[in-house]
Amino acid sequence: MEAARSDSTVVLLGTMDTKAAEYGFVRDRLRSNGLSTVVIDTGVLGEPGIEVDITREQVAIAAGTTLAELVADHDRGRAVARMAEGAAEVIMELLRAGRFAGALALGGTGGTSIAARALQPIPIGVPKIIVSTVAVGNTTPYVGNSDLVLFPSVVDIAGLNRVSSLILANAADALTGMMQAAPATGTGAPGNAGSGNAGTGNRQAIAASMFGVTTPCLDQARRLLDDAGYEVLVFHMTGIGGRTMERLIDEGMIGGVLDATTTELADELVGGVFSAGPERLTAAARARIPQVVSVGALDMVNFGAMDTVPAQFADRRLLVHNPTVTLMRTTPEECAELGRRLAERVSSTSAPATVVLPLRGISAVSVEGGPFHDPEADRALFDSIRTGLDRDRVDLVEVDTDINDPTVARLMTDILSGYLPPQHRSTTDQQTTIHSER
């Protein structure tokens, strides 16, 4: 491997036996653009067709096995899984050593699976592309909560031709542009991870959670925090939004959390389409950063179009939010369990924390006169939080209004600002929003 600066080095990860010509083409294109490469071979059966820097044998060892063992098993599924595991270990070792600043892979379903497993953990902001035959439809298993870019291959990655050469060149040039362009104004560099100051200058980054039915609250909170000098990253609570927010907190890019909209807990409990999984509402405690939490949109579980709602929920209170999203009102029993889970997760913190309960409506549709108005369910939620919250660790504030009343946003932002160092905002600072659309 040629000597090169790490900030101009690209990892090329893939099966160098079946895709050697294509990887050779991409490698040469990147080099002609002034970049260098580290080639990692994840093939198993054939011999690599181009020179590699990290061999398949090394990748297998990183997964706790050997190439000979994988070949002897004659189990393609196991081989793909183990090589993906090993590739992820190799990538993280290179990342810790600061040996690359971008990554690119090519593949069908198998190659994409290996590359996605390896590239997803690379910090957000580090450019990473997979040219893939599966870059259509449901790409969540491949992208996860990362900023990985899936680049449609159009034709199969099976030789160089007038179409594949164009697509591969475009992907290489796109990655080159990402790596060589000046940093975007108003965003933090990946190297800021761990500082809690990702953002413009030294502005502290605040993560905030939003849903359509809590938008007025978050719009007001965002303006107040921005005026106070903080940089606000707003996440839409559609499952991937919550997972991404938790990831950035874990990566040290967030200084405080205004978690007004915890609706994903309801989808996790009942089986809706916007679950963020059991790690939701846990990262702030692990990171030991201040958080102010509320119960926004815990009155609902999300499904797709009306005809996709599971049959067992046919007699429940349903509301068509739009042609592709149907909302289902949570019951008193579900709300009691949601309150227990919220209280337990927030109480695990050792950092300053407050839970805010808006007693007259936890979303735009659960206020008095709204289609999801249900005082019994709300009472079950509030009582469960009151009972389950560790009051030695977490403050509890109750407000006799609904979550979208401006006083709630002001209260939450005032509490969070009191937990954090004061900010000095430059006139050139810009607000950053990460918004995973519904």
Cβ-based neighbours of 400, under 8 Å, separated by 6 or more = 359, 360
**Residue 436 counted as domain residue:** no
Least confident range of 96-105, 187-196, 376-385:
187-196
Asked whether residue 206 falls in the same domain as residue 144, the answer is no
Residue 195 confidence class, pLDDT cut points 50, 70, 90: very low
Domain membership flag for residue 111: yes
Over residues 181-209, the mean pLDDT reads 61
Looking at residue 307, what DSSP letter applies?
A: G
- Strand bridging mode 102-107 / 36-41: unpaired
Pair 21, 130 in one domain: yes
Question: In terms of domains, do 76 and 220 share one?
Answer: no
Helix (H, G, I), strand (E, B) or coil at 23: helix
Asked if the model's pLDDT at residue 429 lies above 90, the reply is: no
Q: Is 328 domain-assigned?
A: yes
The span from the CA of 258 to the CA of 208, in Å, is 5
Residue 125 lies in a domain: yes
- Specify the CATH number for the domain of residue 404: 3.40.50.12030
Q: Residues 96, 140: one domain?
A: yes
CA–CA distance, 208 with 256 (Å, rounded to integer): 9
- Is residue 54 within 8 A of residue 38, CB to CB? The reply is yes
Q: Which of 180, 201, 227 is the last residue of a domain?
A: 180
pLDDT of 198 strictly over 80: no
Separation of alpha carbons 289 and 357, rounded Å:
21
Strand 395-399 vs strand 353-358: parallel, antiparallel, or unpaired?
A: parallel
What's the pLDDT at 196? Answer: 43
Q: The CATH number of the domain where 75 resides is what? A: 3.40.50.12020
The answer on 382 and 327 residing in a single domain is yes
- Tell me the pLDDT band of 181, cut-offs 50, 70 and 90: confident
Residues 193 and 258: their CA atoms lie apart, in Å, by 19
Residue 432 has pLDDT above 90, yes or no: no
Answer yes or no: is 301 within a domain: yes
Q: Is 198 helix (H, G, I), strand (E, B) or coil?
A: coil
* Domain-embedded: residue 59: yes
**Which pLDDT value is given to residue 185?**
60
Residues 176 and 252 in one domain: no
Per-residue pLDDT reduced to its tens digit, 110-125? 899 999 999 999 998 8
Domains of the chain: total: 2
According to DSSP, residue 7 is labeled G
Name the residue range of residue 146's domain. 6-180
Question: Could you report the per-residue pLDDT of 36-59, keeping only the tens digit for each?
Answer: 999 999 999 889 999 999 999 999
In a domain, 434, yes or no: no
Unique residue bearing structure tokens 């030294």: 202
